[in-house]
Structure 1
Amino acid sequence: MRSHRIAALQLDEERLAADLAVSEDFAYNDSYADFVSTGLLRSTMLWNQTGDLAESSLGDYEGSARSTPHGEALSYVRELIGRCFRTEYLKYARFMRLAPGSVYVPHRDFLELKADMVRVHLPLQTDDRVFASEDNTVFRMRRGELWYLDATRTHSVGSFSDRDRVHIVCDFTADSLQQVLADDVLLRPDVPASNIAERPRLDEQGRQALLGLANVLDEHNYQEIQTLLIKQHFVSDISGDDVFTLLKEIAAGSGRADLLHRATAHEEYCMVRR
């Protein structure tokens, strides 16, 4: 796995609680809805090219990011970002809230961008029932841990929690992770064993049971079956890529050419080009 923990930060609980309270009243958007199979992912920009909250998607541009009104409103978060990173390389910083029970469709990011990007997550509110994945490794990013995420690899998120997961997500244009870290942030890349989720192997009987969903697949339950397969990724030893493989096999077995086309087109959008 290329993603890894950078460091564990000591958070100021009182100041963080104040910022989280302020963020409850933010204007959020659902610009990443294409990648949510079930549930809700809300995000808002803290830094972007223009400093305008209406600019909600990523793009290539020259120069450094500008703080938005929401970025200005979070004094402690702004201090954390300034303390951890060389902000001259920062292009985007987002405040992202994932609702309980939500799962991402496995996908790869930065497909539409020309520049090399470095992505870092800082979890502010989460628990051990929220998982991330890269390829066929499922792991936890714990509260206060600074994580490098290789978003060019197939990745996903699954929340089995009963409260929002809240992360700061920062994207930089840089040649390396080391280039964007502030001098006093020591890069000690590791993935603690306790952060890795243990998942049993999906045996042939289990695989055939999933493929048997072809007998009931239709346009009304397609989304639910896709969600079931993604959740299966987080509880058994199948990769994010296997989710689309199984979905296409189920669609093919159903005899529904339209649903097979839907799965194939969605896989291309998530994994190849958009």
Structure 2
Amino acid sequence: MLKSQRIATLPIDSYDFAEELSTIDANDAGGEYDAFTFGSWSAHVLANSGGSEEDTSFRPYEGQLGVTELGRKLPGVMSMVTEHFPLERLQWVRVFSLSDGILAPHIDFLEFTEPGTRLQIPLRTDEDSLHSENDIVYHLRRGEVWKIHTTVPHSARSISPTARLSLCLDFAGADEPVEVKNAVPAEQSVHIVSRPPVSEAEMEELLSSTAGLTTSTMRAAFRRFAAVHFDRQSDATAAFDWFVEAAERTGDNAMADKARAFRTYCIEKRGYREAFEW
């Protein structure tokens, strides 16, 4: 059963975001989370603890939300935030951009004692942009407000060359619900994607494709493993099991250890701002 929830739908067509989305496309965001991302992914900070656009490392904090220079360039997006969401617990306002890319299956907030509450609202998307949670793959439609269940393995993929842009709102506290104001009725049911099972031949081809795996190609190779569960029925975390098996087939114990360490980093344990070294 899907633990993430669609909690509301916003009247997004009442906002004209065309120029502002182009501003996001042109914004040069940093790569704070490069270890998790493959292809083109970036996080654009609109508001945080001090209003500095350079501060991209997520963390809980106490204090007042400050709008960044980029946030001030996006009055339409920020007005949607203030018109529909409570600001008292809001700590981060970001836009995630993903094009021709994929995120490694991961669990958020492993670094912190309390997970908080994360909402995502796609501003620009298409049906080739997908999310996953455990063994379920689903599509977030434009304007839908989703409470992402961040403490189970999850991922995202977009194969479109046009960047999927998703507004991400992080609130303090995991237990108290976030009230969405002025929502509109959802016109469609939640879009769950059906996939066929992985065949034995497909699995053997995947494992055999890394016969020449080396320490310098490991990172690039993992993308193919992470992509499987978006097209075939399997759990997101199976990507790590397959990757470890592929590394073990090389006979190189150091590579097998590296594959296991990446699993630990993504879904088991990591420290604040800990970087994974491939």
* TM superposition score normalised by structure 2: 0.89
**Aligned-pair distance for 1:227?**
1.1
Superposition pairs of residues 38-49 of structure 1, within 5 angstroms:
38-49=38-49
**What SS does structure 1 have at the residue aligned with 2:106?**
coil
Q: Which moved more, 1:250-259 or 1:217-226?
A: 217-226
Matched residue SS, 2:16 = helix
Secondary structure of 2:237's aligned partner: helix
One-letter amino acid matched to 2:237: D
Rounded Cα–Cα distance in structure 1 between residues aligned with 2:66 and 2:33: 21
Matched ranges for 1:53-202 at <5 A: 53-99=53-99, 101-176=100-175, 178=177, 180-185=178-183, 192-193=189-190, 195-202=191-198
Provide the identity percentage.
Answer: 27
SS in structure 2 at match of 1:263: helix
Aligned position for 1:34: 35
The one-letter amino acid paired with 1:96 is F
Matched with 2:232 is 236
Q: Which structure 2 residues correspond to residues 251-266 of structure 1 after superposition, within 5 A? A: 251-266=247-262
Residue deviations 1:46-91 (CA, integer Å, cap 9, x gap):
1111111121111121134221111122111111111221111011
For 2:264 and 2:188, the matched residues in 1 are separated by 30
User: How far does residue 207 in structure 1 lie from its aligned partner after superposition?
Assistant: 2.3
Aligned to 1:206: 202
Query: In the comparison of the two structures, how many residue pairs are matched?
Result: 269
Query: TM-score with structure 1 length normalisation?
Result: 0.90
For residues 194 and 181 of structure 2, what CA distance do their matches in structure 1 show? 35
Shift of 1:185: 4.3
* Cα distance in 1, alignment partners of residues 33 and 14 from structure 2: 29
Which residue among 217, 241, 263 is the counterpart of 1:221? 217
Amino acid aligned to 1:156? S
Distance 1:187 1:33, change over 3 A: farther
Between 1:161-170 and 1:219-228, the stretch displaced more is: 219-228
Higher helix share: 1
- Whether the 8 Å CA contact 1:119–1:148 is kept in 2: the answer is yes
How big is the shift at 1:122?
A: 0.8
Q: Which amino acid aligns with 1:235?
A: D
Give the drift of 1:23: 2.5
Cα distance in 2 for partners of 1:228, 1:140 equals 20
Instruction: Extract unaligned runs of 5+ from structure 2.
Output: 271-278
Q: Displacement, 1:129? A: 0.6
Pick which of 12-21 and 120-129 moved more.
12-21
**Separation in 2, partners of 1:181, 1:96:** 22
| Structure 1: distance between partners of 2:92 and 2:4 | 19
Unaligned runs of 5+ in 1: none
